Chains A and B, each alone.
Chain A
Amino acid sequence: MVSEQLVDLSRLQFAATAMYHFLFVPLTLGMVWLLVIMESAYVMTGKVIYKDMTRYWGKLFGINFALGVTTGITLEFQFGTNWAYYSHYVGDIFGAPLAIEGLMAFFLESTMIGLFFFGWDRLSRRQHLLVTLLMAIGTNLSALWILIANGWMQNPVGAEFSFETMRMELTDFWAVVFNPDAQAKFVHTVSAGYVTGAMFVLSISSWYLLRGRDVEFAKRSFRIAAAFGFASVCSVIVLGDESGYTVGEAQQTKLAAMEAMWDTEAAPAGFNVIAVPNEADMKNDWALHIPYVMGLIGTRSLDKELPGLKDILAHNRTRVESGVAAVKLLETLRADPQDVAAREAFDRVKADLGFGLLLKKYVRSMDEVTPELMDRAARDTLPRVTPLFWTFRIMVALGFAMLALFGLALWYSVKGDFAQRPWLLRWALWFLPMPWIASELGWFVAEYGRQPWTIYGVLPTHLSVSTLSVDSLYGSLAGFVGFYTVLLVVEMYLMVKFARQGPGSLGTGRYEHEASHAHAVHA
């Protein structure tokens, strides 16, 4: 049996490296479209201030992008280094979107970013705008393929277990691509990235306005960010991926957990605004309950039922029992692939194989399985409610607070007097970290809520790891955290330095706090 410590450390390392990576990704996703908008304004109006905006915000974009690339390399290889059995077991399906991401998106994005920074004097205006646009498309396509891969972990469609090769194999590629879960996740995640980009520009512009410097530059940036941010935050909330949560059992379990729905209610189910979940007794000690709302949000209907955790548990208990039979039959088949009777019996229960594998956490052989252990395995399939319930609520609250901010920012942008409203500018400034907090919480809900599985219902997390020593994991985890922390400090230092310096850092001679050097005035 795999050591619990190894599993925990592997999970911690993945979580840490993925969450570091996602400090940089959302800003890239959003900023890149803001650059397209600013540069389009430049190409259409010919006003050089829009070119300066593209170049200055592009400079900050570049500082962020460098760490996005750095931390992204790890993720492409960490499945192999630390999740070897996972890689074998689902590589047939999971590897394809990762490879296609490289071929279709990441190449495009990474090639164009070079031309974005270095091509200003060598490309025509329109050509350069095309480069920026292709960079934006590449960036967003990249997110699409990664989220297709991640969506498959939540809702593993289009694949089937093969006992001959001892792994999951692809049966329908397009089902994986058009997995509703992946599509919902894509829209939600990239929109959240757009909000992050907009908040970044809005906050820093507000800071300039509060100090009364580079006012014209900051006002134009503020307006673009307000409009783009408002549209994006509406998209995050309206197309929030709760609509995807009704598809497949993984998401239903997650939904029930993050809403603390212990019992199945008659449709449309009510919504717990706040609650005090009691995990041991499987009930809420206290809850503020609004009827109908959950059913409406979750199913977009009045008549579809949402299962509660108790029913999910009962259902999973039967799947565990059937899964134990599947594991035993699989062992028979691996020993004698010609055993026709075993094969027929296996085909009937193989959908529950993953539930049987849950017991490998407790026993070496399925002969040691007792009804109590099966109860325990079934209980393992329910994620812990309290952390999910609260992280989800904080994320949603932040989302609505950002909606209010962007709404007002847009309103006063249209009225034209936002620069005279310090309270709004200060709000925008202090809200700078919020999209990042909301994004990280969102990923926590999505990934912690999928436990105890790496692939829901198919492969338990504790079987997915590489057979490494615990010492290796301590070493590599310390290395990653140390390395990333140093890089993060360096990145923040540069970001703050250039944000303080403002558009003057371009050395064009048109702004305050100009970069020194006499030759700066040649543009």
Chain B
Amino acid sequence: MFDYETLKVIWWLLVGVLLVGFAIMDGHDMGVGTLLPFAGRNDEERRVIINTVGPHWDGNQVWFITGGGAIFAAWPLVYATAFSGFYWAMLAVLWALFFRPVGFDYRSKIHNATWRSVWDWGLFVGGAVPPLIFGVAFGNLLQGVPFHFDSTLVPYYTGSFWQLLNPFALLAGVVGSAMITAHGAIYLAHRTEGDIQRRARGAALIAGLITLAAFSAAGSWLALGDFGYAITSSVDAGALPNPLAKQVVQQSGAWFANYRSTPLTMAVPALAYAGMVAALLLIARGRTLSAFVASSLAMTGIIGTAGVAMFPFVMPSSTVPGASLTVWDAVSSQRTLGIMFWATLIFMPVIVLYTSWAYRVMAGKVTTAWIRENEHSAY
């Protein structure tokens, strides 16, 4: 059907699609979770906020689960090396996510202010921690991660958890955190009215401006600092994957090589800026739905900017650059990539279809009146 090289590129794009899907879908309910304790000043307001995502957060979270599964299936070495290397960061994400299913379902089942407040902060942690850590992870990928393999491809991570939290990575964490918060705030404004909507619009403007500032700062740092890796040996993109068969050097400015060689790719960072600026203008005018589309495009641009900069690298090694994982040599077999491509092609449109239907069924503003009417069934 497709040759191996094409499939490898397709899977780079598909992992990107899953990441962007995760950011747009799970991102908006995580943003709502982040805003929950601040945008809701009393129990009823908080219930309104929770119920804007109540029917949807569970389906949205599957973007994260499926993203993990897809990386396992398509890039098993990345799945193995990144998740074991970033062990404590990964556990922090998992443990933060633990608060969500129980937080949503259990919070309003008991009339007790302390109980509810604990779960509200749990939902905050579940919404705020994952985007921050994913941002930090991207920051570390851009810098290179200290790992290598032995001759049988056993991965060894030689860094510590704390060194993941370096200044550049934290800046990338701010990008992740701010863009998800802005996106969630826009969604919240779309589904609420009155005070909550006013606060959500304010939060969207602030978080959006922080996103733009942090994204620009990270880009400038990448341009001026000592970042980037380049493959120096010849690349046979269609070869059997072997991450130990190439030579790689650390090279300042290498993350801009793709943008220089293919100027058309500049459209991706341009989309990030245009999307976020449009989102801010639209939300300021109360055009919440269009703003949501614009912030979705902005996140596509932001994630894509990092992806294009690093291509074909996925996870460069700072200690043994030759062991870096790339789109060419960290992948599954041609057969598996092919099967997974068809599985994604068949099921993704179906997923989009019934997810849209679910949102259409639940469309409209969530109000305090609705909460009162559904005292026993609402979250």
A residues at B contact (CB < 8 Å): 55, 62-63, 65-67, 69-70, 72-74, 76-77, 79-82, 84-88, 91-96, 98-104, 106-108, 110-115, 117-120, 122-123, 134, 162, 164-167, 169-171, 173, 334, 466-468, 472, 476, 479, 483, 487, 490-491, 494, 497-498, 505-507, 515, 517, 519-520, 522
Closest B residue, CB atoms, query A63:
B105
Is B340 touching A80 in the complex (CB atoms < 8 A)?
Answer: no
Could you tell me if A114 and B358 are in contact, using CB atoms closer than 8 angstroms?
A: yes
Minimum CB–CB distance for B238 against chain A, Å: 13
Say whether B267 faces chain A, with CB atoms less than 8 Å apart: no
Q: 17 pairs across A/B with beta carbons < 8 Å?
A: A66-B101, A81-B83, A84-B83, A87-B80, A92-B73, A95-B336, A99-B70, A103-B66, A111-B62, A111-B354, A115-B55, A118-B377, A119-B362, A166-B153, A170-B333, A517-B375, A519-B372
Is B361 an interface residue, CB under 8 A from the partner? yes
Of the listed stretches B90-98, B274-282, B304-312, chain A binds: B90-98
B154 touches A467 (CB 8 A): yes
A103 to B59, CA, bound (A): 11
Segment of B175-183, B185-193, B341-349 in the binding face:
B341-349
Give 9 closest A-B pairs by Cβ, nearest first. A91-B76, A80-B83, A102-B66, A95-B73, A114-B55, A111-B59, A95-B72, A99-B69, A466-B84
Other A-B pairs, 16, CB within 8 Å; known A96-B339, A101-B69? A69-B61, A74-B94, A76-B65, A80-B72, A84-B155, A93-B336, A96-B340, A110-B58, A112-B358, A118-B55, A122-B362, A123-B361, A134-B354, A467-B156, A490-B106, A497-B110
The answer to whether A76 touches B154 (Cβ under 8 A) is: no
B241 contacts A by Cβ under 8 Å: yes
Chain B, interface SS category: helix
Interface pair A81/B90, CB less than 8 Å apart: yes
Q: Are A80 and B82 in contact (CB under 8 A)?
A: yes
Q: Roughly how many angstroms separate A117 CA and B378 CA in the complex, as a whole number?
A: 8
**Which one, A107, A166, A487, contacts B351 given CB within 8 A?**
A107
- B242: interface (CB < 8 Å): yes
Whether B240 is near chain A, meaning CB under 8 Å from some CB there, is: yes
Residues on the B chain within 8 Å of A72, using CB: 65
| B219 at the A interface (CB under 8 A) | no
B319 at the interface (CB under 8 A from A): no
Q: Would you call B336 and A170 a contact (CB within 8 A)?
A: yes
Q: Closest A-chain residue to B239, C-beta based?
A: A164
A515 to B376, CA, bound (A): 8
Query: Bound complex: CA of A498 vs CA of B74, how far in Å?
Result: 44
Contacting A at CB under 8 A, from B75-129, are: 76-77, 79-84, 87-88, 90-91, 94-95, 97-98, 100-102, 104-106, 109-110
Chain B: CB-nearest residue to A113: B58
Q: How far is the CA of A506 from the CA of B343 in the complex (A)?
A: 41
Asked if A467 and B155 sit within 8 Å, CB to CB, the answer is yes
> How distant is the Cα of A466 from the Cα of B90 in the complex, in angstroms?
14
Q: Could you tell me if B87 and A170 are in contact, using CB atoms closer than 8 angstroms?
A: no
CA distance A507 to B59 in the complex (A): 28
Q: Decide: A118 and B362 in contact? CB cutoff 8 A.
A: yes
A124, chain B: closest CB distance, angstroms? 11
Q: Report the separation of the CA atoms of residues A16 and B231 in the bound assembly, to the nearest whole angstrom.
A: 43
Chain B residues, CB < 8 A from A98: 69, 72-73
Q: Assess whether B80 is in contact with A96, with CB atoms less than 8 Å apart.
A: no
Q: Main secondary structure on chain A at its contact with chain B?
A: helix
Restricting to B231-262, which residues have a CB under 8 Å from any CB of A? 240-242
B84 interface neighbour in A84, A134, A334, A487, Cβ under 8 Å: A84
Known contacts A77-B90, A119-B361, A468-B84; decide if A91 and B332 are in contact (CB<8 Å).
Answer: yes
Q: How far apart are B330's CB and chain A's nearest CB, in angstroms? A: 10
Chain B residue nearest to A516 in the complex (CB): B111
Q: In the complex, A515→B332 CA distance in Å?
A: 55
**Closest CB-CB distance, B359 to chain A, in whole Å?**
10
B152 is an interface residue with CB less than 8 A from chain A: yes
In the docked arrangement, what's the CA distance between A72 and B104, Å?
Answer: 16
Cross-chain contact A102 with B65 (CB below 8 angstroms): yes
Asked if B54 is at the interface of the complex by the 8 Å CB criterion, the answer is yes
List, in ascending order, chain B residues with CB within 8 A of A162's CB: 240, 333
Q: Are B98 and A73 interface neighbours, CB within 8 A?
A: yes
In the complex, A391 Cα to B36 Cα: how many Å?
48
Min Cβ gap A479→B in Å is 7
Instruction: Give complex CA distance A76, B67 in Å.
Output: 10
Contacts of A115 in B (CB 8 A): 55, 358, 361-362
Most chain B beta-carbon contacts within 10 A, residue among A100, A113, A120, A494: A100
B335: interface (CB < 8 Å)? yes
Bound CA–CA A475/B241 (angstroms): 35
- Roughly how many angstroms separate A168 CA and B79 CA in the complex, as a whole number? 16
Q: How far is the CA of A479 from the CA of B93 in the complex (A)?
A: 13
- For residue B333, which residues in chain A have a CB less than 8 angstroms away from its CB? 92, 162, 165, 169-170
Contact call A73/B102, Cβ cutoff below 8 A: no
Chain A positions within 8 Å of B77 at CB level = 88, 91
CB distance from A100 to the nearest CB of B (A): 5
Q: Of B62, B79, B361, which one neighbours A106 at CB under 8 angstroms?
A: B62
When chains A and B are docked, how far (Å) is the Cα of A100 from the Cα of B83?
A: 20
Q: How far is the CB of A436 from chain B (nearest CB, A)?
A: 19
A164 to B240, CA, bound (A): 7
The docked-state distance in angstroms from the alpha carbon of A261 to that of B343 is 43
Q: Least Cβ distance of A305 to chain B in Å?
A: 36
**B355 in the interface (beta carbon within 8 A):** yes
Residue of chain B at shortest CB distance from A98: B69
Knowing A81-B84, A494-B106 touch, does A67 contact B351 (C-beta < 8 A)?
no
Residues in B with CB closer than 8 Å to A120 are 377
Docked pose: A489 CA to B101 CA in angstroms = 15
**Cβ contact of B70, chosen from A69, A102, A167, cutoff 8 A:** A102
Whether B87 contacts A472 by the Cβ 8 Å rule is yes
Tell which of A114, A166, A466, A515 has the most Cβ of chain B within 10 Å: A114
> Residue of A at shortest CB range from B83?
A80
Q: Let me know if B151 is at the binding interface, CB within 8 A.
A: yes
Smallest Cβ distance from A472 to chain B, in angstroms? 6
Decide if A88 touches B73 in the complex (CB within 8 Å).
no
With known contacts A81-B87, A119-B362, A95–B69 Cβ distance under 8 A: yes
Contacting pair A69 B343 (CB below 8 A): no
B3 within 8 A of A: no
Max count, chain A CB within 10 A of own CB: residue among B61, B62, B155? B62
A96: nearest residue on chain B (CB-CB)? Answer: B73
Q: Are A77 and B83 in contact (CB under 8 A)?
A: yes
Q: State whether A107 touches B66 (Cβ < 8 A).
A: yes
Q: Which residues from 146 to 201 on chain B have a C-beta closer than 8 Å to any C-beta of chain A? A: 151-157
Residues in A neighbouring B97, C-beta threshold 8 A? 70, 73
Cα(A487)–Cα(B99), bound, Å = 9
Contacts of B154 in A (CB 8 A): 84-85, 467
Q: For the complex, what is the distance from the CA of A72 to the CA of B64, rounded to whole Å?
A: 12
**B329 → chain A closest CB, angstroms:** 9
B59 and A114 contacting across the interface, CB-CB below 8 Å: yes
Residues of B within 8 Å of A334, CB to CB, are: 151-152
Distance in Å: Cβ of A129 to nearest Cβ of chain B? 14
Contacts of A166 in B (CB 8 A): 152-153
Complex interface: chain A residues within 8 A of B151 (CB): 334
A76 to B57 alpha-carbon distance, docked (Å)? 18
The residue that A84 contacts in the complex, of B65, B66, B80, B362, with Cβ under 8 A, is B80
- A279 and B148 CA atoms in complex are apart in Å by 42
Please determine whether B91 and A81 come into contact, CB atoms closer than 8 angstroms.
yes
The smallest beta-carbon distance between A64 and chain B, in angstroms, is 10
Complex CA gap A114/B340 in Å reads 27
CB of B68 within 8 Å of the partner chain = yes
